[in-house]
Structure 1
């Protein structure tokens, strides 16, 4: 992954420290190790962020921040990736997780009525919850592992491509210098 690309869109720790609303997490923001952009820290941040995003629980961002602290990965990326499940995508993702959980538990899927109400959800929650939790955990683990491996491979490919370009540039420069001496 291009480090400069990620740095362009990441917030600066010093600006976050000055915000009053974040004063409780200032020690976490102040830790410089949580702002590094290395192959390991970015890959682990994707794993932590996407894992937390798939969990059907409140305070996903807080859990992602704690996960970033424990795994020493990039704090901003792990928190930002939690927003994969935003209010627009959450119903589809969690319904998919519920279907995956139903498949593994071998229970019939409750069909969604034409009009979803809180009353319907409250009546069905006891039947839905085990499948939703299992499906969410399966999806979270698979997505976290896949993201980690993919980020590491893409990062390695990007670095090796950059090295090849530098090598070709040096060879051209040497050939140009050699041709100047031959003349």
Structure 2
């Protein structure tokens, strides 16, 4: 995994404690566990960020940072992983989550109009919030699990490969 790259980036932020906008977080920046680059910290942060990115709530990045603080995982990786679901993909992902939740609840999906307006969204919110949140929780859980186990396996494979190469170099 990109251990050297992540350490280099986090070192820059930890050394930047004197900036006025970081003064309230000075104590936090001195905690090494929030910037640790190890398998547990990075894979946990990826899972948290991926989970948060799939939820239909505002403020993905601050929410991911708060969850990372509570879980004691890498803050930067969690904040970056919260952008897994970008503003360009939000609508299709949320529509998929709504359809998934509607199917699981046995509800017929609402018709999607040709043009979506704020008034239409407010009127439909009472009808679509249950299937949307159910589908979002299921999709977020599955996405976080896949990313957690996938990144964990990739980290282990990368570490084992690096160890084999180092042992081969030492032998001759």
Q: Same fold (TM over 0.5)?
A: yes
Q: Which runs of 5+ in 2 are unaligned?
A: none
Residue 57 (structure 2) aligns with = 57
User: Could you say if the C-alpha distance between residues 19 and 138 of structure 1 is closer, same or farther in structure 2, counting changes exceeding 3 Å?
Assistant: farther
Q: Deviations over 1:83-139 (max 9, x none)?
A: 123321111111111111112111111121111111111111111110111111111
Residue 86 (structure 1) aligns with = 86
Moved more, 88-97 or 148-157: 88-97
Q: 1:31, 1:55 → 2: CA distance?
A: 28
**TM-score, normalised to structure 2's length?**
0.89
Query: Contact 1:49–1:80 at 8 Å: present in 2 too?
Result: yes
User: Could you say if the C-alpha distance between residues 11 and 111 of structure 1 is closer, same or farther in structure 2, counting changes exceeding 3 Å?
Assistant: farther
Q: 1:91, 1:22 → 2: CA distance?
A: 34
Q: What are the residue-to-residue correspondences of 1:29-108 with 2, within 5 Å?
A: 29-108=29-108
Query: Contact 1:2–1:155 at 8 Å: present in 2 too?
Result: no
Residue 148 (structure 1) aligns with = 148
**TM-score, normalised to structure 1's length?**
0.84
Q: Greater Rg, structure 1 or structure 2?
A: 1
Instruction: Quote the RMSD (CA, aligned, Å).
Output: 1.9
Q: 1:25, 1:97 → 2: CA distance?
A: 36
Instruction: Say how many residue pairs are matched.
Output: 172
Find the residue that maps to 1:12 and give its secondary structure.
helix
Q: Which runs of 5+ in 1 are unaligned?
A: 173-183
Query: Contact 2:10–2:35 at 8 Å: present in 1 too?
Result: no
Residue 179 (structure 1) aligns with = none
User: Once the 2 structures are TM-superposed, how far is the Cα of residue 17 of structure 1 from its aligned partner?
Assistant: 3.6
User: Once the 2 structures are TM-superposed, how far is the Cα of residue 161 of structure 1 from its aligned partner?
Assistant: 0.6
Find the residue that maps to 1:83 and give its secondary structure.
coil
